[in-house]
């Protein structure tokens, strides 16, 4: 069903239009939509099913959760029609309440992650963390070039950067936890690493200038991003032409408790997904490979992805 007439009939229902107005802004789970709209699960699920059948939305499964987003391949005419319908009721009190509730939900997501990382600041290198193995870090270290400027995105306390700073020209550690930045800065001073600097910031909005670093690293950080593609795009932006991105992250897994235990947003990524993130951002010579697998259950596997920013 993709004809304009059929889409108009779909958009005539207020609940479906409210759902689309939210999904246009953000990928959301059924539970989050319930909380935003104050409606029952069965009602929301039935309306989402109709939207999916109409080809307007697509769903993604993460364990027991289902997330809904606008279909990326939606025809331009259909997208224009959809946005016009949403704009026509944008000033209604219902949509205003929905927007306010959505902002609250997104803030709640961020607070959950920040609370987790603030809690473990100072202990991150001592406690178990999925994928943080010396074997995996060793593979990353082998690819390093001395006397370059490096950005460690989602650095935490800077476990990787503490090692890199011994040879690099400058290392920037970016993390959204104020406590992590405080602890990392103290560690850098304690270890006499004047070329290791910390900045508080989001990996999806990196506080570094365009074309300012030679190497960008996302080490076990991408699965904490709300929008992984945006984080990879930011890495591309701050890299100089010829610069390289290295991504260490978990292979896709089904250990659902990782969300609660480690504030994970994504349960890892398939090799094909990491490859697609880098290619879409503009990287060339993209490679993705498994570099480590943990012996103990749930047997987390670590992937290493790399890409080069070409051009001038």
**Number of H-type helices and E-type strands within the chain:** 12, 10
Among 3-7, 34-38, 280-284, which range has the highest average pLDDT? Answer: 280-284
CA distance 225 to 107: 14
Query: So what's the pLDDT on residue 146?
Result: 72
Q: What is the pLDDT of residues 78-90, one digit of tens each?
A: 899 999 999 999 9
pLDDT number for residue 1: 46
Using pLDDT thresholds of 50, 70 and 90, give the confidence band for residue 44: very high
Alpha-carbon distance of 139 to 135, in angstroms, equals 7
Class of domain 4-120: mainly alpha
Q: At residue 142, does pLDDT exceed 50?
A: no
The predicted-structure confidence for 50-61, as pLDDT tens digits, reads as follows: 999 989 999 998
Q: What percent of the chain has pLDDT over 70?
A: 92
Tell me if 225 sits within 8 A of 231, measured CB to CB.
Answer: yes
**What pLDDT digit, counting tens, does each position of 185-232 carry?**
999 999 899 999 999 999 999 999 999 999 999 999 999 999 999 999
What CATH superfamily classification does 134-308 receive? Vaccinia Virus protein VP39 (3.40.50.150)
pLDDT (tens digit per residue) in 243-252 = 999 999 999 9
Q: Please say whether the beta carbons of 174 and 218 come within 8 A.
A: no
Across 186-224, b (16+ Cβ under 10 Å) vs e yields ebbeeeebebbbbeebbbbebebeeebbbbbbbbbbbbb
- Residue 134: predicted pLDDT: 66
Residue 132: the pLDDT is: 66
CA 168 remoteness from chain centre: 27
For the chain, percent of residues with pLDDT exceeding 90: 67
Q: Is-above-0.95 flag for pTM?
A: no
Domain span(s) for CATH 3.40.50.150 in the chain: 134-308
Higher pLDDT: 91 or 136? It is 91
Q: Residues 142-151: what's their mean pLDDT?
A: 76
Q: Of 12-26, 36-50, 130-144, 253-267, give the lowest mean pLDDT range.
A: 130-144
pLDDT value for 166: 81
pLDDT, mean over the chain:
89
Residue-wise pLDDT tens digits, 162-174: 888 888 899 999 9
Segments in 57-123 forming alpha helices (H): 76-88, 93-120
Going across the sheet that includes 57-62, the strands are 28-29, 65-70, 57-62
Summarised one tens digit per residue, pLDDT across range 88-128 is 999 999 999 999 999 998 888 888 777 777 776 766 555 66
* Residue ranges, CATH 1.10.10.10, the chain: 4-120
């Amino acid at each position: 069903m993709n004809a304009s007439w059929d889409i108009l009939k779909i958009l005539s229902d207020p609940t479906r239009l409210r759902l689309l107005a939210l999904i246009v802004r953000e990928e959301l789970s059924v539970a989050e939509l319930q909380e935003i709209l104050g409606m029952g699960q069965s009602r929301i699920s039935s309306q989402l099913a109709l939207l999916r059948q109409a080809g307007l939305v697509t769903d993604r499964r993460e364990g027991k959760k289902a997330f809904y987003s606008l279909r990326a391949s939606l025809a331009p005419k259909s997208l224009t029609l959809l946005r016009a319908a949403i704009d026509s009721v944008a000033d209604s009190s219902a949509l205003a309440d929905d927007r306010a509730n959505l902002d609250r939900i997104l803030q709640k997501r961020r607070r959950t992650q920040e609370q987790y990382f603030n809690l473990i600041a100072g202990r991150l290198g001592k406690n178990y963390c999925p994928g943080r193995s010396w074997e995996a870090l060793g593979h990353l270290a082998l690819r390093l070039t001395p006397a370059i400027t490096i950005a460690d995105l989602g650095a935490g306390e800077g476990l990787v950067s503490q090692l890199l700073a011994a040879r690099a020209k400058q290392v920037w550690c970016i993390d959204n936890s104020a406590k992590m930045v405080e602890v990392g800065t103290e560690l850098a001073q304690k270890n006499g690493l004047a070329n290791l600097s910390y900045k508080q910031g989001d990996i999806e909005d990196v506080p570094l200038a365009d074309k300012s670093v030679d190497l960008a690293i996302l080490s076990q950080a991408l699965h904490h991003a709300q929008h992984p593609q945006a984080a990879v795009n930011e890495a591309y932006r701050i890299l100089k032409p010829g610069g390289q991105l290295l991504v260490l992250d978990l292979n896709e897994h089904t250990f659902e408790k990782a969300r609660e235990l480690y504030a994970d947003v994504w349960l890892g990524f398939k090799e094909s997904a990491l490859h697609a993130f880098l290619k879409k951002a503009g990287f060339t010579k993209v490679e993705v490979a498994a570099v480590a697998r943990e012996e103990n259950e749930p047997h987390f596997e670590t992937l290493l992805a790399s890409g080069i920013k070409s051009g001038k």
